Amino acid sequence: MILSSYLTKYDMEVISAEEPYIGMSMLTQHKFDIIILDLTLPGMDGLEVVGKIRESSSIPIIISSARDDITDKVIGLERGADDYMPKPYDPRELVTRIKTILRRITTTEPEETQKDIFEVDKDSRVIRFKDKLMELTAAEYDILSMLIFHQNGSVSREQLLYESEHIDDESSIKNIDVIISRVRQKIAQIDDSRSYIKPIRGIGYLLATK
C-alpha cells in the first residue's frame, strides 16, 4: 500500500490487514500503538469495526476514508474513533495527527503500573480476582488460568479443551462455553461493572484486563 510505504519513511512500523476480522484478530495477538481504519471493508462496515474494537480496547483509531459524509464522521467519533480524515488529504497531515495522538497518550499514561487483578497460585491451584479468592472447580480453574496466561489475547475453544487437565478430550466444544459461562458468573459476583471474558467470533475467547 502506498500509505504504508509513506509512513515507514517516518520510522513507523506498519502492518496491514485487508479483512476486518483478520485485523481484529491481530489486535489480540500483538501490541499496536494506533489503528488507521478505512470504512469501506469486505464483510463488515468500518463504523461497525470501530464499535467492535471499543468493546475490548482503547487503542487510538484514526478513520481514513473516501466517504466524506458528515453522518459517517459523527457516528465514527461517537463510537470511539479519535480522529476522522476524509480522502484525499496530504499524507503529511496524517503523520502529524498520528504523532499528536501518540504524544497525548504518552503524557497522560499513569506513572505507576497497576497491580494484576487476576493472580494465579499454581502450587495451590487457586485464583484471586481483585484480592478475593474465587471458588472454582478443577475445570474452571484450568480454563480461567489459561485465559489469564494469555490475557488480552485470544484463545481458541480447541486449545481450552485439549490443554485442560480436567476436561475429557472427547467432550464437546460446547462444554467449554458452559464452563466459560460459569466462570463469568463467578467473576461477576466480585465485579459486575464490565464483562472481562469476551467471545472472539470464529476463534474462542479473550480475557480483557486493559
Q: How far lies 10's CA from each of 4, 16, 108, 143, 166, in Å? A: 10, 16, 23, 43, 51
- Residue 130 pLDDT grade (very low, low, confident, very high; cuts 50, 70, 90): very high
In this predicted structure, the answer to whether residue 179 has a pLDDT above a threshold of 80 is yes
Mean pLDDT, residues 171-180 taken together: 86
Q: How far is CA 191 from CA 117, 144, 200, 205, in A?
A: 11, 16, 22, 19
Domains 2-108 and 118-207 share a fold: no
Confidence (pLDDT) at 113: 42
CATH 1.10.10.10 for domain 118-207, yes or no, is yes
At 57 the pLDDT is 85
pLDDT of residue 153: 85
CATH annotation of 2-108 = 3.40.50.2300
Summarize the confidence of residues 163-186 as an average pLDDT. 86
Report the pLDDT value the prediction gives residue 111, as an integer from 0 to 100: 45
Q: How many CB atoms lie within 10 A of CB 201?
A: 9
Q: Give CA–CA dist 177/183, Å, rounded.
A: 10
CB atoms within 10 A of CB 161: 21
For the chain, give the mean pLDDT. Answer: 87
Q: pLDDT confidence of 112, banded at 50, 70, 90? A: very low
State the virtual CA torsion across 36, 67, 55, 177 in degrees, nearest 10: -100
DSSP lists the bridge partners of residue 156 as 204
Checking if the pLDDT of 83 tops 90, the result is yes
pLDDT value, residue 188? 95
Where exactly are the structural domains of the chain?
2-108, 118-207
Q: How confident is the model over 168-186, as a mean pLDDT?
A: 87
Cα 199 to Cα 2, 138, 167, distances in angstroms = 34, 22, 20
How far apart are the C-alpha atoms of 113 and 124, rounded to whole Å?
Answer: 26
What is the band of 129 on the pLDDT scale with cuts at 50, 70, 90? very high
Confidence check: pLDDT of 24 > 80: yes
The per-residue pLDDT for range 54-76, each reduced to its tens digit, is 888 889 999 998 887 889 999 99
Q: Kindly tell me if the per-residue pLDDT of 169 is higher than 90.
A: no
pLDDT at 132: 95
Residues 6 or more apart whose CB falls under 8 angstroms from that of 182 comprise 137, 140
What is the distance between the alpha carbons of residues 60 and 81, in angstroms, rounded to a whole number? 7
